[in-house]
Structure formats: C-alpha cells, structure tokens
Amino acid sequence: MSVSLTARHLEANGIPTVVMASARDIVEQAGVARLLFTDFPLGNPCGVPYDVEMQRAITRMALDLLENARFPRTTVQTPFQWPTDEWRRNFMLITPEKIEELRVAGEVRRREQAARKAKFEKI
Amino acid sequence: MSFQEAHEVNPARRVFVSYIDKSREYYLAQDYGNPYRWAYNRDVPFAPLAKPLAECRLGVVTTTSLATGDEPADLAERPPKRAYAHPVDPIPERMFTMDLSWDKEATHTNDVGSFLPLKQLQGFVAKGRVGSLSPRFYGLPTEYSQRKTNTIDAPDVLQFCREDGVDVALLVPM
C-alpha cells in the first residue's frame, strides 16, 4: 500500500508509473494508474526465483503496460501460475489449534512495538 | 478427482487471495483491536508517457532494504526506516526482506531478480526497448501510517527521481 500511495504521488507529479505486484486487492483499492498483477504468493512479483525467462517475460509485460495504458486503473494479469495452490489457504492461516499461539504472538509483537517506539521516539 | 480438488482450492469460494480479508482476520486473532483501514481512493492520477519508452529514463522502487549482514533480529532494535537511493551498478546480490510481510512458507527471496528486476531492465536498455536505467534505484519503507508515506516517503522518492532525471517509474512491493 505504501507503494501504491507513492505511485499515486509520482503520477500526480507527472511521472508515469507501473506497479508489479501480487496483492491485487490492496493495490486496486488504493487506486493506481497501471498494475501488472501476477497471481503468486507474496515475495516474487517479478517471477519464480531463478526462472530468468519468466522474469524477462514479466518485466517485458510491465514495460508494455507502461507504454500502452490509456486510462488509470488499468490492471493486466500475467499468464503465469504458481506450481501449487496450497499457499492460498496456508498464508496467515487461522485454525482452532493456532488461536492461542496467535494470541501470544500478538502480545509479544505489541511489546516489541512499544519498546521500539519508546527507544526511537525519544531521539 | 477434479482439477480443483487436486490443487486444493475450493471453487465455491473466491480463489484469488484477498490480503485485506486475510490480514484483518489474522490481526484480530492476535488481539489487535480496530482493524487496519487500508487506503481507498475513488480518483486515480494518471500521467501519460510524454515520449517513447525508448527515450525514457526508468527508475525502480523497491520495499526491500540493503543487506548489511548484521540486521538485528529484534524488532525493538531496528530504527525507523527512511527512503533511500542506491547505485544500480553493481546490482546487489541480495536484499534484506525478513522484516517485510511475504509468504515465508511458500517461497524465498534468495534471487533478487524475483522481486527487483534490475538485471532484466538492463537487458531491455541494451536492446533499446528502454532509453536508460536511472543510475540509482530507490528504497521505500512500508508504513502503517499512510500520512508518513504521503508526506515524507513518497516526496523523498519523487525528489530522488527528479535528481536522477527519471521519466518513468516501476514500483515493486513484496
């Protein structure tokens, strides 16, 4: 979302942008001029690691989109599929067995965030 | 067994992942109150290309950080991030990504080319598809605060782009 807001800022200042992303809903809700969407787990929006051919094809599509889009909110989806679909379910999965674990993780994270805030906001 | 069952999707539900839905439920399960309110804009600014891409200088924006090798594992020890600009040449062999939210079970970020396409873009510059690559790429902090992005980080990235004569920008979140 920080990327989408920055793309909007660049566009508003006359710099055409293209966003290459896998979190389609977040980018489209923020609203960008051009989005190249690849339906992969988050982490490799430019292609499968070490698959140079795919990375080249996806980058080429981003350049094509940059050049060819005529209207804002133009989304193009690349044709590539992740080898499996389990990640769709497993990412940020909440199960009854994990509820207590997640609650504790949240407490730890809040303590860390508070400590960080106390440490760096004094400076 | 149908194709869908073999691939563990339920066609009675939307197959595409909604990260807004997933993260809301996930943080509620972590006892965070007040679900995050994502940016929602009805109007979208649009800048058409002023000249052919083959004559444009392109700048790349990433949310990853330069790898120093001694990143503190403890969140509390990590200072707040600022936007940065870093030379494209040589292309970094790795970037620090562990502080970002991505699917650490399904994949990895050991190949920089999978999220920072500098090498591919150099190839397109060599072929004349793109005029030139900016001598620097730009790092953008991912922020909970949309106000900080809008008033500090995005203007910083715009400033870097102007310093480097960037005509068009390619932005890649994780």
The DSSP output letter for B80 is P
Both B34 and B89 in one domain: the answer is no
Q: How far is B128 from chain A (nearest CA, A)?
A: 12
**Domain-embedded: residue B47:** no
Q: How far is A81 from chain B (nearest CA, A)?
A: 12
With a cut of 60, say whether residue B1 has pLDDT above it: no
Both B150 and B107 in one domain: the answer is yes
Q: Domain containing B119: what range? A: 53-172
% of chain A at pLDDT higher than 90:
76
pLDDT digits (tens, 9 = 90+) for A53-112: 999 999 999 999 999 999 999 999 999 999 999 999 999 998 888 888 898 988 988 888
Instruction: Report the complex ipTM.
Output: 0.94
User: Do residue B20 and residue A119 have CB atoms under 8 angstroms apart?
Assistant: no
Contacts of B161 in chain A (CB under 8 A): 10, 15
**Domain-embedded: residue B30:** yes
Cα first-last separation, chain B: 34
Both B67 and B115 in one domain: the answer is yes
**Domain-embedded: residue B43:** no
Distance CA B71, CA A121 (A): 20
Distance CA B56, CA B50 (A): 9
User: Do residue B169 and residue A7 have CB atoms under 8 angstroms apart?
Assistant: yes
With a cut of 80, say whether residue B142 has pLDDT above it: yes
**Domain-embedded: residue B66:** yes
Confidence class for position B7, pLDDT limits 50, 70, 90: low
Both B94 and B57 in one domain: the answer is yes
Both B96 and B166 in one domain: the answer is yes
Both B105 and B133 in one domain: the answer is yes
**Domain-embedded: residue B83:** yes
With a cut of 60, say whether residue A123 has pLDDT above it: no
Q: How far is B48 from chain A (nearest CA, A)?
A: 6
With a cut of 60, say whether residue B165 has pLDDT above it: yes
User: Do residue B170 and residue A109 have CB atoms under 8 angstroms apart?
Assistant: no
Looking at residue B117, its pLDDT comes to 98
Q: Please provide the DSSP assignment of A32-55 as one string.
A: -SEEEE--S-TT-TT-STT-HHHH
pLDDT digits (tens, 9 = 90+) for B100-125: 999 999 999 999 999 999 999 999 99
**Domain-embedded: residue B151:** yes
**Domain-embedded: residue B87:** yes
Nearest by Cα to B63 from B46, B45, B84, B47: B84
Contacts of B155 in chain A (CB under 8 A): 9
User: Do residue B18 and residue A45 have CB atoms under 8 angstroms apart?
Assistant: no
Contacts of A46 in chain B (CB under 8 A): 113-117, 120, 172
User: Do residue B47 and residue A55 have CB atoms under 8 angstroms apart?
Assistant: no
Both B31 and B2 in one domain: the answer is yes
Confidence class for position A15, pLDDT limits 50, 70, 90: very high
Both B20 and B68 in one domain: the answer is no
Distance CA B135, CA B62 (A): 15
Both B21 and B95 in one domain: the answer is no
A34, A74, A92: best to mutate for the B interface, most B CBs within 10 A: A92
Q: How many domains does chain B have?
A: 2
Looking at residue B38, its pLDDT comes to 93
Phi, psi of A109 (to 5 degrees): -65, -40
Confidence class for position A114, pLDDT limits 50, 70, 90: confident
Both B87 and B164 in one domain: the answer is yes
Q: Please provide the DSSP assignment of B90-122 as one string.
A: SPPS-EE-TTS-S-TTT-----GGGT-THHHHH
Q: Please provide the DSSP assignment of B47-79 as one string.
A: ---SS-GGG-EEEEEES-EE--S---SSGGGSP
Contacts 24+ apart (CB under 8 A), A74-77: A74/A33, A74/A34, A74/A35, A75/A24, A75/A28, A75/A34, A75/A35, A75/A36, A75/A37, A76/A34, A76/A35, A76/A36, A76/A37, A77/A37, A77/A38, A77/A39
Using the Cα atoms of residue B30, residue B31, residue B32 and residue B34 in order, give the sign of their dihedral: positive
Confidence class for position B5, pLDDT limits 50, 70, 90: low
Q: Which residues contact B61 (CB under 8 A, 6 or more apart)?
A: A3, A6, B137, B138, B139, B140, B157, B169, B170, B171, B172
Distance CA A72, CA A120 (A): 39
Both B59 and B104 in one domain: the answer is yes
Both B114 and B150 in one domain: the answer is yes
**Domain-embedded: residue B44:** no
Q: How far is B111 from chain A (nearest CA, A)?
A: 5
pLDDT digits (tens, 9 = 90+) for B76-108: 677 889 999 999 999 999 999 998 999 999 999
Would you state the structure tokens that stand for residue B143, as one six-digit string? 């922020």
